[in-house]
Amino acid sequence: MTALIAEQSEPAALAVVVDGLRERFGERVSTSGAVREQHANTLTWIASEPPDAVVFVENTGDVVEAVKICAENKVPIIPFGAGTSLEGHLNAPYGGVSLDFSRMNRILDVHREDLDCVVEAGVTRKQLNEHLRDTGLFFPVDPGADATLGGMAATRASGTNAVRYGTMRDAVLNLTAVMADGSVVKTAQRARKSSAGYDLTHLLVGSEGTLGVITELTLRLHGVPEAILSAVCPFDTIDGACDAVITAIQMGLGLARCELLDEVQIEACNVHSDLGLKKTPTLFLEFHGTATSTREEVETFSEIASETGGGAFQWAERAEDRNRLWEARHEAYWAARTYRPGADAIATDVCVPISRLAECVRETKKDIDAFKLVAPIVGHIGDGNFHVIPLIDMDSANEVEAAATFLDRLVERALAMEGTCTGEHGVGSGKMKYMQAEHSSGIEVMRAIKRTLDPHNIFNPGKVVELT
């Protein structure tokens, strides 16, 4: 763990805060061990560091009051959505109070003509799409887990649809956040575009709770396409799969999803989801459009793929087959975990320009072999973003050390290819050590912004940017 300037909350200050919170929120404050443990880190190999207390907030006013109580006593605040982040975002290395958003799950408005909706930060992506089911609209961003929309905005999440519909960077029209001084900021109006001043929306998207606590969001929606066609296409090589996708994107094909699973991940998914696919690099694809346009695009893609070693397509035309396919894709992480029983999964991600993707995956697979790791690879190939999931016996010091070195080399490789240390998981505490190498002097700008907006470092301290 990197050294940080924040200090453990003073026991006295903490007691004052818990008393203050109890007075205001009554039974909505918990200091029970089980509840605190649930609100720390869960899905990663990073050790769990529970908060001192948890408050179940119900509206923006609650958040304002909780922030004010904590700020007065310089006690940290850690916003908690669904607990599915992967880089230790929810840990409380300096203690403090976790704000649980599960009760802020109201969908406040759906503007069908404007293709947008207003939600509280605790609404999950599946809940929103369920709500939209009869409107002809949908919300596309889909990280594997059923994360909250506030958490997804805070970590600048994306998923399988990003190649067509963008990431949370593109999906958030505006948001409401509580700042460290207790003020409530709405970052923009609901208009689709604006040139009116600094872009506070994007400053908060991806800030991981370190600059402000997101309480509401206005999100872009999209019309459900008339026709959806999904397919699986095996390739001889990863290069062949990448080349096919590059050509398809250049031609402007309406690829809504294009996911690459390497032969190890295919094997894991075969076991976990009974897919029965050939053990070879494989694309999971989806085309959105009209009946005519999707058919046309599928034909074009088949021709492209056949020239780069793509094999016979398996089509999933019925909605149930399609759902089964994408369910299997979204279960890739759990498939990987069960692939080596007893092992811990270290889910990590990097992102490079797509022209470097095949090379980056190839070099990474060489490293997996060299370090004798078991590590499936699955990627949002259209974005140049891929996940590696080393499956590690945490009782083996050798394996743990090998994994750590492997991860450092993975990031180093991605940066050397003009890529980033994380395409969609975020920094948390796990990737702070790479930020200097990635951002160089940009880090000083980030530090200046953090210091001016959160002078006492009470917002999720120990995450994103190391303060010096």
Chain centroid offset of residue 79 CA: 15
- The residue within the footprint of a copy of itself, chosen from 193, 320, 342, 395 (CB under 8 A), is 193
CB 308 within 8 A of CB 235: yes
Minimum CB distance to a copy of itself, residue 107 (Å)? 18
Tokens found for residue 282: 């494989």
> What letter does residue 251 receive in the DSSP assignment?
T
- Which residues between 330 and 369 bind a copy of itself (CB under 8 A)? 351-355
As measured in angstroms, the least distance from the Cβ of 97 to a copy of itself is 23
* Count, residues near a copy of itself per rule CB under 8 A: 97
Q: What's the rounded Cα separation, in Å, for the pair 297 and 290?
A: 10
Task: Choose one: 44-52, 69-77, 97-105, 166-174; the region binding a copy of itself (CB under 8 A).
Answer: 166-174
Give the C-alpha separation, 362 to 372, whole Å: 15
* 156, 220, 257, 272: residue in contact with a copy of itself (rule CB under 8 A): 156
Name the one range near a copy of itself by CB under 8 A: 269-277, 304-312, 367-375, 423-431.
Answer: 423-431
Q: Rule CB under 8 A: which of 112-141 touch a copy of itself?
A: 112-116, 136-137
Q: What are phi and psi of 42, to 5 degrees?
A: -125, -40
The most distant pair of C-alpha atoms in the chain lies apart, rounded to whole Å, by: 69
How close are the terminal C-alpha atoms of the chain, in Å?
15
Report whether 255 contacts 246 (CB < 8 A): no
Which residue in the set 72, 359, 363, 438 belongs to the binding site for a copy of itself (CB under 8 A)?
438
Q: Which stretch binds a copy of itself (CB under 8 A): 27-35, 68-76, 124-132, 283-291?
A: 283-291
SS3 87: coil
**Angle at alpha carbon of residue 81, lines to 202 and 419, rounded to 5°:** 45
Name which of 92 and 246 has its Cβ closer to a copy of itself. Answer: 246
Q: Determine if 194 is a binding residue for a copy of itself (CB under 8 A).
A: yes
What residue ranges in 348-430 does DSSP mark as E strands? 348-351, 377-380, 385-388, 391-392
Query: Pairing relation of β-strands 53-56 and 29-30?
Result: antiparallel
Taking the least distance from each CB to a copy of itself, the nearer of 165 and 339 is 165
Residues 72-111 that bind a copy of itself (CB under 8 A): 111
Q: Which residues within the stretch 287-326 sit at the binding site for a copy of itself (CB under 8 A)?
A: 288-290, 292-293, 296
Residues 6+ apart with CB under 8 A from 467: 4, 5, 6, 447, 450, 451, 457
Residue 468 in contact with a copy of itself, rule: CB under 8 A: no
Residues 4-63 that bind a copy of itself (CB under 8 A): none
459, 180 in Cβ contact below 8 A?
yes
Q: Tell me which of 63, 141, 246, 346 binds a copy of itself, using CB under 8 A.
A: 246
Q: Choose between 154 and 266: whose C-beta lies nearer to a copy of itself.
A: 154
Question: 44, 230, 420, 460: which one contacts a copy of itself (CB under 8 A)?
Answer: 420
DSSP class of residue 95 equals: -
Residue from 205, 244, 261, 377 in contact with a copy of itself (CB under 8 A): 205
Q: Is 191 in the site for a copy of itself (CB under 8 A)?
A: yes
**Is the Cβ–Cβ distance between 78 and 34 less than 8 Å?**
no
Window of 56-64, 126-134, 178-186, 321-329 that interacts with a copy of itself by CB under 8 A: 178-186
